[in-house]
Structure 1
Amino acid sequence: MGGMSAVIDNPAGTFSVPIIDISPYTGGGSASDRAVVAAQIDDAASSVGFIQIVGHEIPIAVIDEFTAVMDDFFELPLEAKKAYRTPPEINRGYAPPKSESLSLSLGVEPADRMNDFFEAYNVGVEATAYPELELPEDQYASNTWPAVDHFEAAVSAYFAEASRVAHTLTRIFAEALDLPPDFFDGYTDHSLDVLRMNNYALPPGEIELDGELTGMGEHTDYGIVTVLWADQVRGLQVLDREGTWHDVAPADGALLINLGDLMARWTNERWMSTLHRVKPPIVDGTIERRRSAAFFHDGNIDATISTLPSCVGAGSRYSPITVGEHIGAKLAGSRAGQSNPYARREAQRVRQAMRRGLGQQ
């Protein structure tokens, strides 16, 4: 299945997100089989920046139980959900609609600042998971678990599976980049990982359908790699190199994978962190429900990310930065409304895309 692609037809041509079977890494394949997968990942990461993977071996029962408790939480009344809010600097708990703006994580000012209409719930790795390390408790914060039956157990089970997949992917990345197999281990052995559960449906009358709604503003992901489970409902859009947005939905049983800014820095943009957004799927004047869950594998907070020697070429486009500095600036943008001073290259790309994309919305 490694040679297949999910193809979406559009007026500007054909855009495809490759489907890659990673079972040679998860199920025990030969060295030659793994090398084929690594080459496919390298090609997709260099050309598209989004990938679909099958052969990830997350049990269907784990996904079903996880999505069921997501539904149970998001079906609670808004005021009940707001009881689980945390301060903007704590990337945990509930985020109600229009309390964030992902485009600010790139330093791009939206017309109506905090205007993303999705709601979300975040959990992540806690400092207590690494008692031998002195990790900052604001970034490795304790989780807030809602009073929903089986929520903590089901979410924790999926979190563990998504983490396994992310670590498998970094092993594949190492081979694809001609690095030692364990290269990324020293950067991710207390990784700042967060699982964000997203809901794109709102009760009737809570929002005006004026054609300018932003489900989730254009952004790149912040860390190393994102493992995304999503409904097969249109809404997610990916920007190609020509500045055209394309609808992307996962194939049956597939997870969507995209690279984050830290991987773009590491590889000096040999691999790109691809711009994407979510537009509200509107059917007959109402928003069709869409759910997703993004596992962000961001790396150790104290790790310094510098361009890989094999990717420097004529010179590095990026100065070294720690994971903590990078993620902190990103979150200050999306959650606290502070424009990101470290995202000049990414912001320039967004603005160019906005200009090219006029009339393509």
Structure 2
Amino acid sequence: MPPFAVPLIDISAWVGDGSDDARAAVVAAMDHAARTVGFMQVVGHGIPDSVVSGLTGALDEFFALPLDAKKAYVRPAAENRGYSPPKSESLSYSLGVDPVTRMNDFFEAFNVGASWRDYPGTSTTVEDYAENTWPDAVPSFHGAVETYFDEARRVAHTLTRILAAALRVREDFFDTLTDHSIDVLRMNNYALPPGSIELGAELTGMGEHTDFGLVTVLWADQVAGLQVLGQDGSWNDVSPADGALLVNLGDVAARLTNDKWMSTLHRVKPPVIDGTIERRRSAAFFHDGNADAVIAPLPHFVTREAPALYEPVTVREHIAAKLAGSRAGRKNVTAVREAARVAASRG
């Protein structure tokens, strides 16, 4: 088996007016990455540096607030909006896997997403597409985050066009699954004040998990911590190249392709430098699909030799089960295949 590597893919041919050959090369590279790694680094995405700087400045200002001030923006777990304090979640429970210590993921996060008001004339409801909370304690936050959200969504739509070409389905195939997609931007901060952690303990920045939806577009610091599970059961460190976004496929993509494309397990293990945890930031844009979309393996991925691995399920049902695990501490008993991969991993 070749050594683990996350391929670097330039998608500029699909962002602009690329030639047919250039576009075909991107499709082939993405299909290969989807089948072998489930992760890729994407450049040529077209997000201006100024937009990324605006995002990071806004999240720095928010996460620098006192904890009590940030807790004013906590929302009910089921709404998946607002602030999540440190140690309030355990992502491994989304797979039905026990963490080392219950609720020990020490990242803090702030979530915004698509509201039901963004999709007039559709079947969206406030239960699936909650209104956002914008922290008035940081006046620049709303504008900077919303600008980045729109750019990340544009990249996600470009990626689904490439994925449709790789699947050899019509170019607008994903439109029917994502025209009122549950899109969420989760901004993460991996840092705790000195004395709030036991450095000799088994530390988990974010427990092992797969992403819930179709595709994730991740901006991240070039700081160690993100680890991706290889096919040989090893955990491998991953850090983005200069200017690259990390892109990975989620459970919806795996279910559509009957696991031909990989919803790869990943986690964050915090680096400890000179006795303190080095700060790490990330912003994950989750393009999950329509809440009422029914997801099942596509017919051309199901044969007598490769029977369907998944029963049909709506995106709403799938995400609800995984959120109940990570947020409420109730094991998700439906993630049998993913939990088995965690159990088989090494290190």
Please give the range of the TM-score, normalised by the shorter of the 2 chains.
Answer: over 0.9
Q: Deviations over 1:44-87 (max 9, x none)?
A: 11011110000000011000011100000000000000010011
Q: Which amino acid aligns with 2:53?
A: D
1:206 aligns with 2:196: yes
Question: Which of 101, 104, 110 is the aligned partner of 2:99?
Answer: 110
144-153 or 205-214, which deviates more: 205-214
- Name the structure 1 match of 2:321: 329
| Residues 233 and 145 of structure 1, relative CA distance in 2, 3 Å threshold | same
1:348 aligns with 2:340: yes
Q: Which secondary structure does the structure 1 equivalent of 2:79 belong to?
A: coil
**C-alpha distance in 2 between matches for 1:70 and 1:313:** 47
Q: Which secondary structure does the structure 1 equivalent of 2:6 belong to?
A: strand
**C-alpha distance in 2 between matches for 1:22 and 1:207:** 41
Q: Which secondary structure does the structure 2 equivalent of 1:108 belong to?
A: coil
**Is the 1:235–1:247 contact (alpha carbons within 8 Å) kept by the matching residues of 2?**
yes
Moved over 6 A (4+): none
- Name the structure 2 match of 1:64: 53
Q: Which amino acid aligns with 1:264?
A: A
- Name the structure 2 match of 1:19: 8
Q: Deviations over 1:185-213 (max 9, x none)?
A: 11000000100000001111111112401
Question: Which of 277, 284, 296 is the aligned partner of 1:287?
Answer: 277
**Is the 1:66–1:154 contact (alpha carbons within 8 Å) kept by the matching residues of 2?**
yes
Question: Which of 307, 310, 314 is the aligned partner of 1:318?
Answer: 310
1:224 aligns with 2:218: no
- Name the structure 2 match of 1:55: 44
How do residues 1-361 of structure 1 correspond to structure 2 at under 5 angstroms? 14-147=3-136, 148-314=138-304, 315-353=307-345, 357=346, 360=347
**C-alpha distance in 2 between matches for 1:313 and 1:169:** 27
341-350 or 294-303, which deviates more: 341-350
Gaps of 5+ in 1: 1-11
The alpha-carbon deviation at position 13 of structure 1 amounts to 7.8
Q: Which amino acid aligns with 1:130?
A: Y
Q: Which secondary structure does the structure 1 equivalent of 2:77 belong to?
A: coil
- Name the structure 2 match of 1:6: none
**C-alpha distance in 2 between matches for 1:105 and 1:213:** 18
Q: Sequence identity of aligned pairs in percent?
A: 64
**C-alpha distance in 1 between matches for 2:273 and 2:46:** 34
Q: Which amino acid aligns with 2:67?
A: L
Q: Deviations over 1:146-192 (max 9, x none)?
A: 02021000000000000000011000000011111111011000000
Q: Which amino acid aligns with 2:122?
A: L
**Is the 2:294–2:312 contact (alpha carbons within 8 Å) kept by the matching residues of 1?**
yes
Gaps of 5+ in 2: none
The alpha-carbon deviation at position 25 of structure 1 amounts to 0.3
The alpha-carbon deviation at position 227 of structure 1 amounts to 0.2
**Is the 2:122–2:180 contact (alpha carbons within 8 Å) kept by the matching residues of 1?**
no
How large is the RMSD of aligned CA atoms in angstroms? 1.1
How many matched pairs? 344
**C-alpha distance in 2 between matches for 1:14 and 1:173:** 25
95-104 or 203-212, which deviates more: 203-212
**C-alpha distance in 2 between matches for 1:96 and 1:110:** 18
133-142 or 23-32, which deviates more: 133-142
Q: Which secondary structure does the structure 2 equivalent of 1:133 belong to?
A: coil
The alpha-carbon deviation at position 31 of structure 1 amounts to 1.6
**C-alpha distance in 2 between matches for 1:131 and 1:16:** 42
